[in-house]
Amino acid sequence: MTPRPLRALFLLCSLALVARADDGYRLWLRYDRIADESLRRDYAAQTGTIFLATPGGAESPTIAAARDELTSGLAGLLGTAPKLEFIKAEAPAALGPEGYSLRATPRGIEVIAARDLGVLYGSFALLRLIQTHQPLGRLAVTSAPKIQHRMLNHWDNLNRSVERGYAGQSLWEWDKLPGELSPRYRDYARACASLGLNGTVLVNVNANAQFLTPAYLAKAAALAGVFRPYGLRVYLTARFSAPIEIGGLKTADPLDPAVIKWWHDKATEIYRAIPDFGGFLVKANSEGQPGPQNYQRTHADGANLLAGAVAPHGGIVIWRAFVYDANVPDDRHKQAYNEFVPLDGRFRDNVVIQVKNGAIDFMPREPFHPLFGAMPRTPLALELQITQEYLGGSTQLAFLAPMWKEVLDADTFRPRAGATVARVIDGTANVARVSRPVNPADTGQETRATLSVIAGVANTGTDRNWSGHPLAPSNWYAYGRLAWDHTLTAAQIADEWTRLTFGNDARVVPTVTSILLASRETVVDYSMPLGLHHIMARNHHQGPGPWVAGGRPDWTSLYYHRADEKGVGFDRTTAGSNALGQYAPEVARRWADLATCPDRDLLWFHHLPWDHRMRSGNILWDDICLHYQRGVDTVRSWQKSWDTLAGAIDEERFKSVQALFARQEREARIWRDACTQYFATFAKRPLPAGVEPPAWTLGYLRSLNAPFTATAHPPAAK
C-alpha cells in the first residue's frame, strides 16, 4: 500500500492538474481554494484537529479513505491539511450502523460514528458544509439514512453500450478487467460515498447470463475490491434462464430440484469471489425477458428461488414489478397491480419488490404507482430514473428532484392518511417490517434489520463530465441526497449542488438554482403537459411522436392519448378502464372528480372534449397549446439568465451549457410544432393568441426518424 503522506500528495497534485480546466470531472467534489481569506482562516482554525471516533478504534481501508478525503479536501479548500486523530468513542444509538455525528468542541471537530463507514460519510458531510460556506462554530449535526439499501442501477451491457445511456460508454472496461483498474472506478466510488449510496448493480436488467460465469465474476470481484472501502456493495442482475444458458440444464423451472441446486451452487460461487456481494436484481416476464411464468409459476416462486440461494450469505433479491403482458389488456396502467397484489405475503423475508414511481414507464410526469401501500406484507422499493430517457437525454436540462419529491410526498392513504410513498418504502407507514439474516462479511451489523430499498437508474458514462450535459450530474447528486434523507426539499438540494459545482458566487447561485428548479416542469410543458403521456418517438424516445401507431398497441402513442374529434385523454375512471379503482378511495375520489383532479394529471385520468373549460378559463385546446408555448418561452428565459453569468463561471462549462440551451430551445420548438399541429387535426381549431406559428410542417416533422439528431443543426423552416 502507498504510504499515506504520498497518497495525500498524489491527490493534491491531481487536484492541481484538474483545476487548470474545469471539465466537470470532479463533479461536486471540487475542493477549490476559498477566496475569502477571513473565512478561510476561520475554517482553518476550526478544523486544525479533527477527531475520527468509533467504538472500535481500529484502522481500516474505510478510515484511510476518510483520512485521504479530509486531507486532500481541506488542503484544497484552505491551503492547509488538518491534524487527524483516530480515537475510541461510543456513538449515539440513534445513528445506527451508517449514521454520523459532527460536533465542534474546544479541542477540534469530532466525527463520531458506530462504524467506519459512518466516519467516511461524516467526513464528506463536513467537507460539504465547508464547501457551501456553512458556519462551524456551533456545529452539532447528526444524520442517519432513512432507507437501508440506497442503490444505483446501471443498465450497462457486455459490449459496453448503455441502454438509455447518454454519456458515452459503460464505465466498466470488461476487456481490461480484472487486471487493469481504471482510476475512474475509485472516483466513482468516492462520488457515491459522498452521497451515502451503498449499492451498485453493475449490469442491465435486460440481463445477460455471461455475467454469472467465472470469468465475469472475477471482473466484478475486482470492481468490488475498489468499491469496498467506500461502502459500495456490488449486485448483479440474474438472467432467469441462466441454468439453461450457462448451466447446461434443460429447464429453469423454479420448483425443479436441479434448478434450485444450480442457483444455490452459483450463489456460493459468487460469495466465494465477492464475500460482501449484495444480491440479485431481476427483471422477469417483461418485455421478452424469461421468468417463472414460462413454467406456469408465479413471481413469488421465481423470487423465492433466488432468495433461498442468497439467504445463507445474507443477500437479498430485488424483483422488479415492471411487468406487462404482450396480450394487451384494457389498460397497461393496471397490470403490475393485478399481478403482484394477490402475491402479497408470499415472498421470502429477503425479497423486496422494486416498483417504478409510476405505473407506465418513467414518464415526464406520472401519478404515483398504485402498488405503493397496496402490499402491506411485502417490502416495496422505489425505482427512479436518473438518466433522462423521456426527458431529453443529455441534450436537455431537467432537474428531477421536484419530480421525485412529488412521488415521495404523495399520500397513499394506506393504511391511513399520512402514509406517503416515502414512508411506505422506508418502512414507517405501518407496513409490516421484514427482517433478514446478516451477511457474515458485514462485521458488527445488526442481526435483523428492516428491508428497505431505493434505486436510481444511473446517468453515468465515459464522457469526461460523467453525465453528458454539464448540469446533468445534479440528478445523480439529488437522487443520492434524497436516498439518504427523503425529507430534504428540491430547493435545498439545488442550492447545495450549485454551490458545490460552481461555487458560492452571489450571482451564480440564485440564477442556476432558479433554472434547475423550473426545468422539469418546463420539459413537461413543451412535451407532455396536462397528463398527456407516452407520446414520444418510437424506440429511441428522443423527440415527439404523437402519431406513433402500428404493432403492439401499448407501445404506441395512440393507445395513450386517444385523440379524436371529440377530445383527448385516457379515461381511467369507472366509465373507462377503472385504473382509479386500484388506489385508496381518498385518492381515487380526488382524481376521478374533475373539480378536484389537478390540471397536471387531467388527461392521465380523463378523456375530455377539446372545448372543456379549464380552471384558467381557457378551453382545453387553448391550454394545451399555451403550455407548449410556455415551455419554449421558459427555455428562452434560461438562455438570457445564463448569459448574465459570463465571467462568473469557467469558460469551458459556460460555453457548453450555452450551446446546449440553444439546442434545447430548438428541440422544445420541435415538440411544440409537432404536437400542436398533430392534435389540431382532431381539434380543428386555430392556435390561440400567444402561440407562435410553427416553423416546420407536420409532414416534415413526421418524416424525421430521430428529430433531435437530425436537427442538431436545425433545418430551414418548411
- Residue 689, C-beta contacts closer than 8 angstroms, at least 6 positions apart: none
Minimum mean pLDDT range among 10-24, 133-147, 185-199, 598-612:
10-24
pLDDT band at 444; cut points 50, 70, 90: very low
Please state, in angstroms and rounded to a whole number, the distance separating the CA atoms of residues 125 and 102.
Answer: 9
CATH topology agreement for domains 4-143 and 517-570+607-710: no
pLDDT of amino acid 430: 62
- Tell me which residue of 211, 235, 221, 229 sits closest to 178, measured CA to CA: 221
Position 312, amino acid: P
Q: At what angle do helices 490-502 and 116-131 cross, to 10 degrees?
A: 80
Residue 440 in this model has a pLDDT that exceeds 60: no
pLDDT value, residue 21? 64
Q: Find out whether 332 and 323 touch, Cβ atoms under 8 Å.
A: no
- pLDDT of 328 reads 64
Q: What is the pLDDT of residues 189-210, one digit of tens each?
A: 999 999 999 999 999 999 999 9
Q: What is the pLDDT of residues 322-365, one digit of tens each?
A: 998 767 668 999 999 999 999 999 999 999 999 999 999 999 99
**Confidence band (pLDDT; 50, 70, 90) for 679?**
very high
Q: What pLDDT, in 10s, does the model give residues 400-409?
A: 999 999 999 9
Mean pLDDT confidence for 456-476: 98
**What angle (nearest 5°) sits at the alpha carbon of residue 385, between those of residues 491 and 146?**
60
Predicted confidence band at 441 (pLDDT cuts at 50, 70, 90)? very low
2-22 burial, b if ≥16 CB within 10 A, otherwise e?
eeeeebbeebbeebeeeeeeb
How does residue 706 score in pLDDT terms, banded at 50, 70 and 90?
Answer: confident
* Long-range contacts of the stretch 32-41 (C-beta < 8 A, 24+): 32/76, 32/77, 32/503, 33/76, 33/77, 33/78, 33/79, 34/77, 34/78, 34/130, 34/133, 39/133, 40/77, 40/78, 40/79
End-to-end CA distance of the chain: 65
Give me the active site residues, please.
287, 361, 389
pLDDT (mean) for 225-235 = 98
At residue 20 the predicted structure's pLDDT band, cuts being 50, 70 and 90, is very low
Cell 427483471 identifies what position? Answer: 283
Give the integer Cα–Cα distance in Å for 548 and 533.
13
Chain-wide mean pLDDT for the chain?
Answer: 93
Q: What is the dihedral of CA 157, 459, 122, 24, to 10 degrees?
A: 120
Q: How far is C-alpha 712 from the geometric centre of its chain's CA atoms? A: 27
> What pLDDT does 522 receive?
98
CB-based contacts of 199: which residues, under 8 Å, 6+ apart? 149, 150, 151, 152, 232, 233, 234, 235, 278
Q: What is the pLDDT of residue 36?
A: 97
- Residue pair 426/415 in contact (Cβ under 8 Å)? The answer is no
Query: Given pLDDT bands bounded at 50, 70 and 90, which one contains residue 12?
Result: very low
**Could you give the 3-state DSSP secondary structure of residue 83?**
strand
Q: Report the run of H or E that residue 199 belongs to, with start and end.
A: strand 199-201
Whether the per-residue pLDDT at 7 is higher than 80: the answer is no
* CATH architecture of the domain covering 149-487: Alpha-Beta Barrel (3.20)
pLDDT at position 715? 53
pLDDT in tens, 78-124: 999 999 999 999 999 999 999 999 999 999 999 999 999 999 999 99
Instruction: Flag whether pLDDT at 257 surpasses 50.
Output: yes
Confidence category of residue 15, pLDDT binned at 50, 70, 90: very low
Mean pLDDT of 470-495: 98
CATH class for the domain made up of 4-143: alpha beta
Spatial distance between the Cα atoms of 614 and 7, rounded to a whole number of angstroms: 63
Average pLDDT over residues 481-510: 98
Residue type present at position 576: G
- Please give the pLDDT value at position 602: 98
Q: Is 559 left (phi over 0), alpha (psi -120 to 50) or beta?
A: alpha
Percent of the chain at pLDDT > 70 equals 92
Q: Which amino acid, residue 349?
A: D
Looking at residue 5, its pLDDT comes to 47
Q: Is 23 exposed, middle or buried (0-12, 13-18, 19+ CB in 10 A)?
A: middle
AA identity, residue 221: A
Provide φ and ψ at 678, rounded to 5°: -65, -50
Q: How far is CA 332 from CA 114, 361, 555, in A?
A: 46, 10, 10
Residue type, 151: M
What's the pLDDT at 204? 98
**Structure-block grid coordinates of residue 647:** 465571467
How open is the CA angle 211-198-12, to the nearest 5 degrees? 100
Show the cell assigned to 684: 380543428
**In the chain, domain spans:** 4-143, 149-487, 517-570+607-710
Beta-carbon count within 10 A of 531 CB: 26
Q: Phi, psi (5° rounding) for residue 495?
A: -65, -45
Bridge partner residues of 267 (DSSP): none
- As a whole number, mean pLDDT of residues 419-433 equals 83
pLDDT at 326: 67
Of the pLDDT bands very low, low, confident and very high (cuts 50, 70, 90), residue 236 is very high
Identify the pLDDT of residue 446. 33
Alpha helix (H) ranges present in 485-596? Answer: 490-502, 508-527, 558-561, 585-592
Residue 49 pLDDT level (bands cut at 50, 70, 90): very high
The radius of gyration of the chain from alpha carbons, rounded to an integer in Å, stands at: 26
Q: What does the pLDDT look like over 540-584, one tens digit per residue?
A: 898 999 999 999 999 999 999 999 999 999 999 999 999 999 999
pLDDT the model gives residue 315: 98
Nearest Cα neighbor of 151 from 311, 381, 343 is 381
Tell me, which fold does domain 517-570+607-710 have in CATH? Alpha-d-glucuronidase, C-terminal Domain (3.90.1330)
- Provide the β-strand partners of residue 353: 319, 380
pTM score of the predicted model? 0.94
Question: Residue 150: which H helix or E strand, with range?
Answer: strand 149-153
